[in-house]
Structure 1
Amino acid sequence: MLVGREQELGDLLAVLSARPAVAMIEGEAGVGKSRLAGELIAQPDLAGLRILTGYCQPLREPFPFGPVLEAVDGLRGYTHPFQRARLSPVTGMLRDLLPELSEHLPQSPAPTGDPQAERHRLFRAVREVLAAAGPALLLIEDLHWSDEGTRNLLSFLLSNPPANLAVVLSYRREEVAGGVPLGRAYRPPPRAGSIVVRLRPLTLDHVRTLATCILGGSVPLDFATRLYERTAGLPFVIEETLRAVRSSAGGVPLDGAAARRLLENAEVPVLLREAMAERLASLSGDAIALAQAVAVLGTPATLEHLREVSGLGDERCRTALGAALDRGVLHELDECVYGYRHALARQAVYATMAGYERRRLHVRVIEVLRRLDPPPLVRLADHSRQAGLTEDALRYGEAAADAAVQVGDTATATHLLQRLLNDPGLPAGDVDRLAIKLGEIAHTGLDQRDPSTTLKRLLDDPRLSAAARGEVRLFLGWMLIRQAEGLDEGRAAIAKAVDELEDRPDLVARAIASLALPYLGTTPLARLHPWTQRLKVALKSVPEGELRMSLLANYLPSLVTVGDPGPLRVPDQASGPGAQRHLARLRCNLADSCVCTGRYEQAGHLLRDGLHLAAQVGATFVTSTGQATQARLDWVLGHWDGLDERTLRLLEEYRDLLPVASELSLVLGWLATARGEWEEAESWLAGTGIAVPQESIIPVALSAFAARARARLARGERELAVTDVERGLHVARTKGVWAWTGELVPVAVEALLESGRAEEARRLLAELERGLAGRHAPLAAAAVRMAGGQLAQADGEPAAAHFEEARRLYEELPAPYYAALAAERLMLSGGAVEELAELGDTFAALGATYDAERCRHHLRTLGVSVRRGRRGYGDTLSPREQDVARLLATGRTNREIAGMLFLSPRTVETHVARILQKLGKHSRTELLK
């Protein structure tokens, strides 16, 4: 009986009944993902679909696409695998990969010689075959174990799924880098239905129901409570535990007391192990040997491989397999492929074996795997390690890491290299080579926190030679400056590496380029000048190539970000994959610098080209920075529709990368501020680095100070707002870069004026004008006019011309939100209040609901009637009631809603009463359910 998953099953069916559709089932090990997927495909509503299933395995090989091809191969079970009579020639790409379907496929097309083109043709072939096989449901289980190629193929497929295809993916979120199963943020196309089902552990009530079903009788609440506490509500652990309890009773139904006694005698960490041990005890010696062979193999296997590893003859192996299947120890996971249903079950059996026996079987597995073509290097490395064959483990592990890098799977490569480097018996020469290789690979990928810990440990390892130490320290420094609270430590490591790399001028130049970056931390720009001068000297002597492109990727954006007025000359192309990766980085870095200073049109062009090139060459870290810049650019350009959802997905993926996560948090903070969601804004802005500016990306931190000060001014927290702007201005003065203050200065002037500190505001404006002299920073230039208007208005002088010019400059950038803020000031200073209603609609169209309500509040204060649509809404909520209901749904109090909508608490109370009456609710609590 399926317990506690009725809602999830219904939601899945509702989405998958209309195709194309994509469903993702996520949850921890043992929470019931496979159980739910199995129940789903058995539903009568999906009876007309062809079910194609593929499984990702825990020992991943750098051989892409395997699970998807396994699923497609399931079509051979159908008499007529394809609904269409003819397939295009591109589907012949699958002929050699799926020989069982060759009679239904056209001849293989001639190779192009271009690996990327070949991969694209393969992707197209898979999509067309799935379209021709439909209506179908593609189920890929355990995506957290997938290789990068499989994730890329699925991303391609899901970006434009066939009209008659449903896709279901299951994965463990905690085992996916960044929590993103496809390796990057996924947004379904508009025509496709989509759902993410997050399976949680069962509640106490559900545990009790499940226990009642399994034990065949009423279960006391205290027993269910203890079971719930001991199993954390994981269905698989509950089921296996209760089956073990029932087995201990000899199949006789247990009453609550007896079940409680058995449960009390079992320790939580070994419940599953004991259950599997009981099952093994009921098997023959041959069946136990076979079960142990499968446990050591680690992945599902054919009967032939099981026979070789177990050492049983053909007939004995078949008999043993039948017994293991009958007892539920093993399962047929695919046609003639056998294994454990869950990794936990395999681990439980593995733990029952003596060490010497495990090693003996690992050696047998190695003998079997060596004969495969190509040899599965990851599995060979793993089995060699567990067999105690250290030299083989090293040889296979390094070869597997190299192979993973070749197909762009840096996560697998870094994991393998770290495992090798954790061996205390690794020879010194191997430590040098592998440590450098780990640094080279890891600093270009997304998983940098764990590798940096490994490298940091190796710097204190006497096996690491002096010659390798500087290189390892440099890679460590590059990774640390991308981590929260690692900036100072990272810069110190890079500076020390410069002294240790005298024999490597290429690496010294790259280290200097990193130390010259102006936006990292609060080090004054003047103190960075020596590094900048050394970088300029190095560039004069470095010829065209990868090294030069690497240096330019730091140097040119640094010029732009500090407002250098010189012409921007970006290389058009680069030769070789290394130089192309740095060209992609150059374009994305330049785009980010342009966004910081207000050169938005240039930023858009650079970002488009940079992200396209980064995707082509597999530069995952560059892609992450470019996507964060795109989110901030979308914020400035007013492209807010769905921006918070897109940004949240990216933040989940890149939360461990400081430059990326802080910028994404900034976008979410500004969005919340514009909507008047003060607590959310405070929470997001805390992730931008403003608490510790010396460890932050300074242009991001300055913008965050501006956002938080604006939010605090809106809440009437004047002194706190002044504190924020003073801290931000202190950072700007310390850095000596005023090109980054375009968002901060207008808020700072407003806060100072409201606090009666007009003279400080005047000095600030003069300071800004001096700081911008000879600099190209369009956003800050517009801020000068905005602040000038604020000061003129405070002095009782004509301010309209200032605000009109500020609006024009903001519109030219373009920055529609800031242009609207300038327009609001203009209308209030010039008396054109009748235009405020239209401006309120402009804010509302952007998504700046708080600013829209402020404009309407101005009108009401001035005695101008504000109409929002027709009168007489009957049982339908009026627009104002919809606004109040939206905030009620977030748990806001009447007073909070009043402040956000510029209403009196009494008016909000009236609206709440009407909303409850129209919706048939009796209380706010009932409304929230």
Structure 2
Amino acid sequence: MGLELRGRHRERETLDRLLRDVRAGRSRVLVLRGEPGVGKTALLDYLTEHAPAGRVVRSAGVEPETELAYSALQQLCAPLLEHLDRLPEPQRDALSTAFGLSSGRPPEGLVIGLAVLGLLAEAAAEQPLICVVDDAQWLDRMSEVILTFVARRLDSESVALIFAVRGTVLDGLPDLLLEGLPDAEARALLDSVLPGLVDTRVRDRIVAETRGNPLALLELPRDLSPAELAFGFGQSTREFGQSPRGFGQGPRGFEQSPGGFGPGPRGEASVAGRVEETFQRRIAALPEDARTLLLAAAVEPVGDVPLLWRAAQRLGVGPEAAAPVEAAGLVEFGARVRFRHPLVRSASHRSAGAAELRAVHHALAEVTDPERDPDRRAWHRAHAAIGPDEPVAAELEQSAGRALARGGRAAAASFLERAAELTIDPEARAARTVAAARARFASGAVGAVPELLAAAELGPHDPVRQAEIERLRARVAFAANSGRAAVTPLLEAADRLRALDPAAARATFLAAIGAAVNAGRLGGDDLRRVAEAARTVPAGDEPAGRLLTAFTTWSLDGHTAAVPLFRRALAAVTPADDLDLHWLAGMAEHEIFDHTSFLSRTEQAVTLGRREGLLPSVLTFRATALIYSGRFADASDLIDEAGALAYATGPSPHPATVAILAAHRGRTGPALEAIESLRVEAEAGGVGWLIGVAGYARAVLHNGHGDYPAALAAARQATGHDDLAVLQWGLAELVEAAARTHEMDLAEAARDRLAARADASAGGWARGTRALADALTGIDPDASYREAIEQLTGTGLDLQTARARLLYGEWLRRENRRADARLQLRPAHDAFATMGAEGFAERAARELLATGETVRKRTTGVRDELTAQEGQIARLAAAGRTNPEIGAVLFLSPRTVEWHLRKIFAKLGVTSRRELATAV
């Protein structure tokens, strides 16, 4: 029933080129965009007919299926599941669980995405694979998320993934916009369906007002009488366009612009609307049993013909009803039901009354197997219900549980919302509504949660349920804005939770403190206000309770009083605890100079995240730790990985880490751009903590280049507020910049503030920082510098150790102790050069030259020819990671990793992974 493919030379060339690339071993993604009827499906048919000798799999979004998790994805992957056993076990288990093939832990979308990516790669290992997804605007949410992720990570697997879509779904992927046919092609297509004599003006008007839309050209003339086609008017010889049934404003003709097919307020949507109207009129002309059969086919989403005939029998409709429907050119009944166009399905829906729709859903529910397809059966029963129906609501609740077990949170929310609508008992209705809100929040649809919570509150005020409502409300507030705007809603929620759930109240007060910490200098007295309120809640021994005690003490009584409480709290936070706790815990570890624990915590977070599904923030959390350890390349890899993940799943990498790394690298242009972007984001979001980070990063950048006046101004900004962790970072920069600009009063004041904090904390970082500040301000510099280097060595703070050596070497050189200076400056320069801290490396090189030493520029070799991604793969392979493990880290298929490794080996002149360690 496909349309003849006329014209489309540009489009066919694009598809032919795509197929050539796939045959050559590359993967390609393309989204065909256009209005209904413009020929997207015809181009998909062209593609599959001209595909290379290989495998073609097809799927399509179906409007009634948009609430069933993974329905389109499972349809696409079903023919490929013979390759499932080749996937790594975590991915294999995740995909099996998502598709209901086995039971297991609810899988995260990221792991499912990696599994689908691997499955497509394995299926394409021997011959190219063409994956076609039609009507992508009706993909269920999880299928859309997973397929978008896969589309952005395909590389060298010989896979083509082509979508057809109307609207902005799949935005950001390579696309091809389809418009109407050129006039000559449009006229030829129109002539192929026009009978006999047709008035030239009629033909011109049809071509102009359909804007060359092929479906409109084929369908709309069928709605006009021979007289209207031949002469442009109906029963009299009135002028063209004025006939009540011509192209004027009659109920059956084309409307004139601006309401018709031409440009006007209705724009492109009017083409689909007018075509759908012609389908509706054709449906209305059918016998009643034929209309019923068509409606049943429209409501049954997968084209299951035996199921459809069983439902029709329940409705009292026999097989003979199919003939008028097929004769009208609306649908074909073969091995599957195939509609003339999706607009026929929607036209059938709109033509039916509510009672007719309920009857069809009821018949389909009765013939759907409750064992094999319980969720679809429950969904049909829900649409068949007239009023409250507890048995159906209970079925929907069970379907929600199955959806959650498969990772389909959005689907679960839809089941629960409908279950609540069908529930008459107020308590059960409220409970289901809260469960729906929880599922919506987990699915990322935060904006839908407040309305559901408000509806739940109309029910009985059960204390446990009210506590859950308040907890969700608090989480929504923090998710919507983690800065100043979240403080008051979180504080109000915490106050309401006091009597309902003390542990939840403490967790919410801690979230409010986190928001106030984020707000920083933009929050006024928010932090004190929250801390004073939090102090009135009974203390708790759980991790959140311990952290709350420590943070209220830090906020109200100062750093020194809080240090032992922070140590006690940090010992209680385990890897399994919520990520928000780990963010606060990590910053607290820097507040008390405990980089060793921070390194360990971030490593555990990434390990756990890789197993259960990563968030970009987990990766940037780890990257921050690696920066201070001087592992810039590894930190950069994680930031790139976070960016790739965010591109596929939503939230962006934390901008603070990006700016801090750029500042330490010392490339002025990119660093200033990242810092300015951070500042703008901070002010827009009310996150004053980031303003402190921006000042600190700017100070690092300028100290690195020896521009001490600029560093001093930036450091003063960074230390203008007592920001968690950032204050002591900024104070260290302030001491150096002030000492080098001979602002000794300022340097000594900063040293005293820094010393008070360091003295309250034990450990090499604290003592080394104190000693370095003493040296810079003239307190026994020789001994203080040596003490700083000794204390910092072995802490994992290789960056700080190298900076201490640089400062000591500079002091020795100024003391005219050139030989001693070189002993410090050489390892400092080598360390900075290896890290990629270009500003500090240049500064060390200048000092070495001043001592009379020749500084050799680092030679460039084949390793510098590696792309950023190749560098990541090389380092991971050299560390002993397998291809599947590297693929999981970088969100690539193992076959793409292997393809890149072959290129890396050739560039580096090595033949095995064992040689990589030396080469990179």
Specify the TM-score bucket, using the shorter chain as the normaliser: 0.5 to 0.7
Q: Provide Cα deviations, 1:430-457, integer angstroms capped at 9, x if missing partner.
A: 55313432454455x3515214432564
Deviation at 1:199, TM superposition (A): 1.6
Trace 1:241-390 onto structure 2 (pairs within 5 A).
263-264=261-262, 267-268=266-267, 269-279=269-279, 281=281, 285=286, 289-302=292-305, 304-305=307-308, 308=311, 311=315, 313-320=317-324, 322-323=326-327, 327=329, 329-330=330-331, 336-339=336-339, 346-347=345-346, 349-355=348-354, 357-369=356-368, 371-377=369-375, 380-381=378-379, 384-385=382-383, 388-390=386-388
AA partner of residue 273 (structure 2):
R
> What's the secondary structure of 1:705's corresponding residue?
helix
CA RMSD of aligned residues (A): 6.4
Distance change in 2, residues 1:528/1:275 (3 Å): closer
Asked if the contact 1:597/1:779 (under 8 Å) is kept, the reply is: no
Alignment of 1:498-647 (within 5 A): 498-499=495-496, 502-512=499-509, 514=511, 519-522=517-520, 537-539=539-541, 548=542, 551=545, 563-564=563-564, 566=567, 582=577, 590=585, 593-594=588-589, 599-613=594-608, 623=615, 625-636=617-628, 637-638=631-632, 639-647=634-642
Residue of 18, 23, 28 corresponding to 1:17: 23
Q: 1:58 to 1:632 in 2, by over 3 A?
A: farther
Is 1:689 aligned to 2:682, yes or no? yes
Give 1:137 shift: 1.7
CA–CA distance in 2 between the matches of 1:506 and 1:128? 46
TM-score scaled by length of structure 2? 0.64
Residues 825 and 456 (structure 1 numbering): CA distance in 2 closer, same or farther, change over 3 Å? Answer: farther
Q: Structure 1 residues 354, 567: closer, same or farther in 2, change over 3 A?
A: closer
Aligned equivalents of 1:249 and 1:844: distance in 2? 78
Q: Measure, in 2, the Cα distance between the counterparts of 1:3 and 1:788.
A: 75
CA shift for structure 1 position 272: 0.8
Q: Give the Cα–Cα distance (whole angstroms) in 2 for the partners of residues 35 and 803 of structure 1.
A: 75
CA distance in 1, matches of 2:490, 2:83: 59
The SS at the match of 2:673 is: helix
Q: Name the counterpart of 2:159.
A: 166
Helix, strand or coil at the partner of 2:479: coil
Q: Which residue of 2 aligns with 1:52?
A: 57
Aligned to 1:433: 431
* 2:139 corresponding residue in structure 1: 145
Q: Percent identity?
A: 13
Conserved 8 A contact 1:401-1:414: yes
The equivalent of 1:103 in structure 2 is none
Q: Counterparts of 1:60 and 1:483 in 2: how far apart (Å)?
A: 29
2:444 partner SS: coil
CA displacement 1:64-121 (0-9 Å, x = unmatched): 7665654465479xxxx9999xxx9x9999999999xxxxxxxx9xx9x97689x99x
2:906 matched residue in structure 1:
none
| 2:734 aligned with 1:761 | no
Aligned partner of residue 270 in structure 1, secondary structure: helix
- Aligned twin of 1:728: 718
Q: Partners in 1 of 2:407 and 2:84 — Cα distance? A: 35
The answer for the alignment partner of 1:648 in structure 2 is 643
Q: Judging changes above 3 Å, is the alpha-carbon distance between structure 1 residues 244 and 801 closer, same or farther for their aligned structure 2 residues?
A: farther
Greater gyration radius: 2
AA of the residue aligned to 1:199: D
Match of 2:471 among 474, 480, 485: 474
**SS of alignment partner, residue 51 of structure 1:** strand
What's the counterpart of residue 175 of structure 2? 199
In structure 2, relative to structure 1, the CA distance for the partners of 1:848 and 1:609 (3 Å cut) is closer
Whole-angstrom CA distance in 1 between matches of 2:675 and 2:459:
47
SS at 2:796 equivalent: coil
- CA distance in 2: counterparts of 1:748 and 1:228, whole angstroms: 73
Q: Distance in 2 between matches of 1:243 and 1:716?
A: 73
| Aligned residue among 450, 455, 461 for 2:447 | 450
Structure 2 counterpart of 1:909 = none
Corresponding residue for residue 760 of structure 2: 774
Judge conservation of contact 1:718–1:754 (CA < 8 Å) in 2.
yes
CA shift, 1:614, in A, is 5.6
| Residues in 2 aligned to 1:402 and 1:58: alpha-carbon distance in whole angstroms | 23
Distance 1:706 1:822 in 2: 18
Aligned mate of 1:677, from 670, 674, 678? 670
Correspondence 1:78-97 to 2 at 5 A: none
User: What secondary structure sits across from 2:480 in the alignment?
Assistant: coil
CA distance in 2, matches of 1:323, 1:133: 44
Q: Partners in 2 of 1:398 and 1:615 — Cα distance?
A: 31
SS state of the match for residue 677, structure 1? helix
Judge which range, 757-766 or 827-836, deviates more.
Answer: 827-836
- Asked whether the equivalents of residues 803 and 822 of structure 1 are also in contact (C-alpha less than 8 Å), the reply is yes
Distance 1:254 1:82 in 2: 62
Distance in 1 between the 2:104 and 2:312 partners?
A: 40
Structure 2 matches for 1:867-886, cutoff 5 A? none
Q: Counterpart in 1 of 2:693?
A: 703
Counterpart amino acid of residue 696 in structure 2: A
3-state DSSP of counterpart to 1:263: coil
SS at match of 2:411: helix
Q: Deviations over 1:284-306 (max 9, x none)?
A: 61665544444334554435426
Q: 1:571 to 1:678 in 2, by over 3 A?
A: closer
C-alpha change, 1:171 and 1:840, in structure 2 (3 Å) is farther
In 1: Cα distance, 2:664 partner to 2:175 partner? 30
Provide the rounded CA distance (Å) in 2 between the counterparts of 1:640 and 1:10.
41
Q: Secondary structure at the match of 1:402?
A: helix
8 A Cα contact 1:244 1:275, kept in partner: yes
Distance in 2, Cα, partners of 1:94 & 1:456? 32
Measure how far apart 1:501 and its partner are. Answer: 5.0
> Do the aligned residues in 1 keep the contact of 2:771 with 2:784 (CA within 8 Å)?
yes
Closer/same/farther in 2, CA of residues 827 and 773 from structure 1, 3 Å limit? closer
Matched-pair contact (CA < 8 Å) for 1:25–1:33? no
Task: Structure 2: give runs of 5+ residues left out of the alignment.
Answer: 1-6, 191-204, 233-240, 242-246, 248-253, 866-920
Q: CA deviation at 1:744?
A: 2.2
Instruction: Report the Cα offset of residue 767 of structure 1.
Output: 1.0
Shift in CA distance, 413/228, structure 1 to aligned 2, threshold 3 Å: farther
Residues 829 and 136 from structure 1, CA distance in 2 versus in 1: closer, same or farther, beyond 3 angstroms? same
**2:194 alignment counterpart:** none
Alignment coverage as a number of residue pairs: 777
Counterpart of 1:465 in structure 2 is 461
Distance of 1:245 and 1:861 partners within structure 2: 85
Judged with a 3 Å threshold, the aligned counterparts in structure 2 of structure 1 residues 264 and 426 are, in CA distance, closer, same or farther, namely farther
Give the Cα separation in 1 of the matches to 2:811 and 2:481. 44
Q: CA deviation at 1:685?
A: 0.8
Q: Distance in 2 between matches of 1:527 and 1:749?
A: 32
1:271 is displaced (CA, Å) by 2.0
Q: 2:543, 2:573 within 8 Å by CA — same for their partners in 1?
A: no
Listed one character per residue, the Cα deviations across residues 228-251 of structure 1 (whole Å, up to 9, x for unaligned) are: 9999xxx9x955556567777899
- Once the two structures are TM-superposed, the CA of residue 481 in structure 1 deviates from its matched residue by 2.0
8 Å CA contact 1:216–1:253 kept in 2: the answer is no
**Greater shift in the superposed pair: 562-571 or 482-491:** 562-571
Query: Can you list the C-alpha shifts for 1:257-297, whole angstroms capped at 9, x where unaligned?
Result: 99997632873233212123334545761665544444334
Q: Which residue of 1 aligns with 2:891?
A: none
Partner of 1:410: 409
Match of 2:480 in 1: 483
